[in-house]
């Protein structure tokens, strides 16, 4: 009787788990000519994903599962090395953990971000590419399956090629490896949408944000760039993030 009762209890728990469980698979594909090191960050103080950072060779793909509801962001680190003391760091997108795993740290700007909000119970998801924290490489996010608009959000252009001198992040050899946002580079409220510029009405696009907007019109170019930059899909079981699409 105990065995039968235990079996019934286990089946009931399994049924409850399966009825409430929902996850989305996030697949990362690296089409860049060089290796990148993606980072992951879960928001709302929830547990991080099974990995918070990993190496992804050129041409390679890998996947993670995110349990709904889930909110977070992804990015790629570039120019990463390990020094003689064993400390890991990256030229762009570094998360300052000293390891390949970011361990709950976000990207240090400038970095191209993919932001995803996965709803519970097949509700409406929101996702976007954001250059609000600057740009380090092209990136896109698309859905596989799901209902609704479900369009691809992409920033396929190399913003570094048109980045003005005052926003440039350069490598030791003088090459431009990332483009800072005006907020990061100049730290003025009209570029950061703070203080007297903290509303959509008082913080319109600037000449700097328009550089990002003109190169990647689907991506967020500054804090209030909502009109063409937020994408939705309901119940998408798969998301594909492509670096250098």
Task: Report CA-CA distances (Å) from 188 to 37, 135, 181, 191, 197.
Answer: 31, 19, 11, 6, 10
Does residue 202 belong to any structural domain of this protein?
no
Does residue 179 belong to any structural domain of this protein?
no
Pairing of strands 81-82, 70-77: unpaired
Q: pLDDT at position 44, please?
A: 83
Q: pLDDT at position 211, please?
A: 97
- Model pTM? 0.89
Q: pLDDT at position 2, please?
A: 39
Does residue 60 belong to any structural domain of this protein?
yes
Does residue 16 belong to any structural domain of this protein?
no
d(CA 219, CA 212): 8
Does residue 177 belong to any structural domain of this protein?
no
Beta-carbon contacts of residue 195 (< 8 Å; ≥ 6 apart): 189
Q: pLDDT at position 11, please?
A: 40
**Digits of tens for pLDDT over the chain (245 positions)?**
434 444 434 444 443 333 344 789 999 999 999 999 999 999 987 899 999 999 999 999 999 999 999 999 999 999 999 999 999 999 999 999 999 999 999 999 999 999 999 999 889 999 999 999 999 999 999 999 999 999 999 999 999 999 999 999 999 999 999 999 999 999 999 999 999 999 999 999 999 999 999 999 999 999 999 878 999 999 999 999 999 99
Residue range of the domain that includes 68: 23-158+216-243
Does residue 206 belong to any structural domain of this protein?
no
Does residue 88 belong to any structural domain of this protein?
yes
Q: Are 145 and 125 in contact (CB under 8 A)?
A: no
Q: pLDDT at position 8, please?
A: 36
**Number of domains forming the structure of the chain:** 1
Secondary structure of the chain as H, E, C letters: CHHHHHHHHHHHHHHHHHHHCCEEEEEEEECCCCCEEEEEEECCCCCCCCCCECCECCCCEEEEEEECCEEEEEEEEECCEECCCCCEECCECCCCCCCCCCCCCCCCCCCCEEEEEECCCCCEEEEEEECCCCECCCEEEEEECCECCCCCEEECCCHHHHCCHHHEEECCCCCEEEECCHHHHHCCHHHHCCHHHCCCCCCCCCHHHHHHHHHCCCCECCCCCCCCCCEEEECCCEEEEEECC
Q: pLDDT at position 45, please?
A: 78
Domain with 88 in it: what CATH number?
A: 2.60.110.10
Does residue 30 belong to any structural domain of this protein?
yes
Q: Are 76 and 113 in contact (CB under 8 A)?
A: no
């Amino acid at each position: 009787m105990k065995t039968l009762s235990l079996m019934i209890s286990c089946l009931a728990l399994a049924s409850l788990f399966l009825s409430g469980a929902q996850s989305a698979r996030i697949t990362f594909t690296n089409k860049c000519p060089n290796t990148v090191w993606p980072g992951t960050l879960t928001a709302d103080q929830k547990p991080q994903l099974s990995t918070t950072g990993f190496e992804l060779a050129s041409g390679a793909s890998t996947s993670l599962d995110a349990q709904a509801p889930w909110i977070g962001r992804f990015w790629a680190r570039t120019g990463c090395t390990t020094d003689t003391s064993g400390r890991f760091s990256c030229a762009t997108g570094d998360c300052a953990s000293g390891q390949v795993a970011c361990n709950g740290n976000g990207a240090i700007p400038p970095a191209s971000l993919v932001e995803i909000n996965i709803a519970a119970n097949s509700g409406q998801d929101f996702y976007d590419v954001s250059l609000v924290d600057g740009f380090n490489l092209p990136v896109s996010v698309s859905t596989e399956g799901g209902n609704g608009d479900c369009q691809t959000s992409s920033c396929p252009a190399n913003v570094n090629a048109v980045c003005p001198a005052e926003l440039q992040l350069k490598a030791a050899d003088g090459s431009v490896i990332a483009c800072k946002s005006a907020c990061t580079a100049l730290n003025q409220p009209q570029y950061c949408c703070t203080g007297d510029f903290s509303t959509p009405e008082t913080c319109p696009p600037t000449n700097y944000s328009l550089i990002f907007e003109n190169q990647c019109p689907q991506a967020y170019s500054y804090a209030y760039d909502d009109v063409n930059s937020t994408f939705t899909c309901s119940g998408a079981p798969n998301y594909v993030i492509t670096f250098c699409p």
